[in-house]
Amino acid sequence: MATLPPGFHALSLPIIQLSLAAVLKCGQSFRWNAYPLKITSPDASLPTHEYRFCLRDRVVCLRQTPTDILYRTVLPDPQPNMTERKLREAETLLWLKDYFQLDVDLALLYEQWGSRDKVFLRIRDRFTGIRMLRQDPWENLISFICSSNNNISRITKMVQSLAKEYSLPLLSIPLPDGSGVEETYYPFPPPSVLAKPGVSTRLRSLGFGYRAEFIHRTAKMLVDTHGTSTRPSQTSEPSELFLHTLRGMATEDARAELLKFVGVGRKVADCVLLMSLDKTDVVPVDTHVHQIAIKHYGMKGSTKGKTSMTPKLYEELCTKFVKVWGDHAGWAHSVLFTSDLKAFALHGLTEPQFTSPSPQKDRKRRIPDEDEMPSLLPTPPRTPFAYNPSPAEHVKKRARMRRTPE
């Protein structure tokens, strides 16, 4: 990278360790914005997109070259002095290393998965650099409550509208395409805000359906138990700190805590365990994953007609995948899952920019599974309460859902 764009710093990182284009759009986080850059010369060493994410106190902008991640910190006014600014930049770098878990050698994991699994060998060269993000547990929990019976584009709209509705705008900056158009960024709202009266009614009117009440009640449960702080808005609330402590718990105990929340069944809990609570071997399972296991991994079962997902079958599938992939089974699963998304049907097949893709030829090389339902997303409400511990709650939820057929 000869010259850096203004305000950016470079972090040396090959694309086999991290592909922003894949990782930020494959259904892990729903709050990254991707903007195409204005390309003036055909040069594969130049970034094609800028990705932006709004934290509580700053916006982080990223671009990727074959050798580097370029990062920039944007702070709200008033702009701090140089000393302060350097501190903030150092924090952003620490955040990046933590959020992308850069201490984990992904190339080594791909090698291990490839040597253990022929199915993985078939996809690994097209789907490089897909690693698990280490998300904020609170945002991750609420996002995956939204994800029940839902698809990526609609979950993205919901999560972004949640931020816009319940957070003050942090700052506005121009789009990176040189058009001069400004975009405003909103942080994810804290638990105390979503616990307030009226939230579920408002979210319903914004199209959240039955998830509106799940979100409100989960927030209220956290705030009632852990309280709210009077500290400045940048610092985490006690409820958020509590969710962070689940990282230090055994998987079973952390899962039991998550299952207490409203709208959280086994699958949502497992997504949160994997995506924000460091439980690398947890594989979120549904009937779709079951089908993959039957077709490619020698699990017994019928590929015709749906088998209902029981707790016993769920356990069997998890055990199976841990046996195949090892202690980062959840990470491997996310690569397979991404390869299965419709939006990624041509991923890794097209040439770099300025050559036109040939969809006709590409289509033949698509990998076999083309189901619409992404496997990391929770199962539709046919089965979502199979793991609910309390029968009374189970009945109440059913009643609520009947009122709002989705």
Tokens of 120: 């993985």
- 306 a catalytic residue: no
Contact criterion met (CB below 8 Å) for 344 and 22: yes
SS3 sequence, 345-401?
CCCCCCCCCCCCCCHHHHHHCCCCCCCCCCCCCCCCCCCCCCCCCCHHHHHHHHHHH
Q: Does 164 bind ligand NAG (CB under 6 A)?
A: no
Q: How long is the chain? A: 406
CB of 148 to ligand NAG, least distance (A): 12
Among 43, 84, 105, 177, binds ligand NAG (CB under 6 A): 84
Among 83, 230, 355, 360, binds ligand NAG (CB under 6 A): 83
Give burial (CB, 10 Å; 0-12/13-18/19+) of 292: buried
Q: Does 153 bind ligand NAG (CB under 6 A)?
A: yes
CB of 79 to ligand NAG, least distance (A): 11
One-letter identity of residue 325: W
Question: Of the listed 86, 97, 196, 267, which one is catalytic?
Answer: 267
- DSSP of 143-192, one letter per residue? HHHHTTT--HHHHHHHHHHHHHHHS---EEEE-TTSS--EEEE-PPPPHH
Q: Does 88 bind ligand NAG (CB under 6 A)?
A: no
CB of 372 to ligand NAG, least distance (A): 6
CB closer to ligand NAG out of 154 and 247: 154
Among 3, 40, 79, 81, binds ligand NAG (CB under 6 A): 81
CB closer to ligand NAG out of 157 and 260: 157
Judged by CB under 6 A, how many residues of this single chain contact ligand NAG?
7
CB of 245 to ligand NAG, least distance (A): 31
CB of 333 to ligand NAG, least distance (A): 21
CB closer to ligand NAG out of 112 and 151: 151
Of 286, 284, 228, 227, the closest CA to residue 255 belongs to 284
Phi, psi of 73 (to 5 degrees): -105, 125
CB of 81 to ligand NAG, least distance (A): 4
Give burial (CB, 10 Å; 0-12/13-18/19+) of 302: exposed
Q: Does 151 bind ligand NAG (CB under 6 A)?
A: yes
CB closer to ligand NAG out of 12 and 81: 81
Contact criterion met (CB below 8 Å) for 241 and 138: no
Assign 3-state DSSP to the chain and report helix, strand, coil percentages, each to 5.
Answer: 45, 10, 45
One character per residue 61-80, x = contact with ligand NAG (rule: CB under 6 A): -------------------x
CB closer to ligand NAG out of 157 and 202: 157
Tell me which residues touch ligand NAG (CB under 6 A): 80-81, 83-84, 151, 153-154
- What are the catalytic residues? 267
